[in-house]
Structure 1
């Protein structure tokens, strides 16, 4: 190539082109999601109840005396969570909220970096801008900033827990997940993976940290027993608003109880098989793939079959999605990513022309997305199990039987 051609048609590697495109778009998306949508807020305001509870806690006023019959966001954190949130009320509400949004954005960027590094990619590669772009294009991240809730910090705790668990830093892994459990128990199902992997020491700090924080917070609270008497029973109820779980969806649309139970049992059964297969065939050969996929199965199933599943919980499935870069991933099929679209899209399906159908899609996109994602993972693992079983049967029959089987299939 002569000088003229090199000048007119400079070569650029595709791995440089992707960051070149995505970095400016992603930076502008982060600014728009935080400084515009986040600061604008929404009628759903998760921050104000937390700020009010922190203010009451610091001033020794009752915290758990809300009217749970309304559809407004309620304060549901235990005394340990109130203790951790109490510094928010040291300054005025607006400044506190803006600082919380800023901290959430920083945490989400750190999470994208950790996820990139955890799966073996350099932070200078094209993967980091792709992950960041995906993060901030989703409903789960956008509404975490707009509603201003704690989910970004839960995701950070999840990734820190997984990386420390893989690195065999057990006590610190327990601290990471224990701090999230002290505020909200979203990640509690992952303690099952700790038991399966026989990393018992994680449980010491995973249980000890929230327990210790509650011991400290209990005498400082005005009404800690009301959390047990009023809030805990409410947490066990199924509400028919802002609830994408099977039971919440059934309550809203009036689905019969027997069908609700059939669906819940079916998803638990699929999760049990998936966890068994992943434990048997992947834990020793690819521990990262086992941990990331198993955590996604556990959390996704919990969101579906529990009493409360909110759409912005979907960010806890990011490690499962990231497994697409590893051989053996259950995410290398289009139905799984159609499920991801349903669970995480920021698109709105409300329609003026087809109002009932649009409303149905809008209210069901998250539960349908979670469902399709969990079904896709189950089917991939089931087909692999059947292939392994078939290969074993053919090996037992010998070459002649194997040739006969091929002849039968060929006919």
Structure 2
């Protein structure tokens, strides 16, 4: 059987979703904010960021971890792991897995994290420099690690099937979902998957700004403008989403909730200066083939939307190459929360599933003037449409491309 046919036959069902973005109030609050075009981008609030060239970030506001996690767990974990645990709890509760009798070795976790536990490490290193090594938390040995989110979710929920973590910058979250799908093909019955990031302490913020692509705009409405003629950089955000995937065997279906992960593919771009084109269009075609879907069947593209002119142009060229000039609606709803690194793709997948559920394509906040030469139909106001197939794209620094297809 071909890979495309196998992908179409074994399309995991998304039975639960959990979101940590915006006000941290959950899935439906996130969806309402997206449709309303809300923005959670604002000046950094945790410390004085006036000495940095960029001061705007997409921050989760009103999140009190003590209301969600046991007190013993909080000192062991970085903020990003706390967000991941809460999103995972929300997704598992949404899926209602207590109604299914899964063995521990039939459930696994695959997550993505691009920046690890910056805040925890910064705090402990400060103690090292000022108070000495005896004052450093023993939890520093793992709280900073990229795999901490996967490990803590697995331990908390007794999930011992094949698990893992992927690091591919913004593309990693979609790659994690793709890996979870492969694990289900190999015999697992349930996977918790997705990605989150948070690196807003001074050390982490400096790492964002040093990349040279963060917007220095002071006005929120002009800061992050994917595909806009006035785009001059992106705004970093924190958060992301977790999903519960269950086996798509038609003879043993779980209670279907949101849709299916029908296809996935990843490619890598050639090095800068090589003169060779991006491989984004190839990733799109491979993902569509894996899903058994033709370009004309795709109802909406949730784009990566870098907000950097040359990257926007490259992505627009890839989309137009596959779908034709303005051949499919394109949206970047995450411009209201910022680029979330590993969390961006999974959050877009959740938004795409809600778009399928409710028959509406969400808008791209703040984007106003798309250059004609981009040849993409960017949605700037909510657009009612029958959505049965959505394509989600993510691109990571260094050449990562990832494409994922979700269907009704």
Q: TM-score range by the shorter chain?
A: under 0.3
Greater percentage in strand: 2
- Higher-RCO chain (CA-CA 8 Å, sequence separation at least 6): 2
> If you compute each CA radius of gyration, which structure gives the higher value, 1 or 2?
1
| TM-score (normalizing by structure 2) | 0.26
Greater percentage in helix: 1
| TM-score (normalizing by structure 1) | 0.26
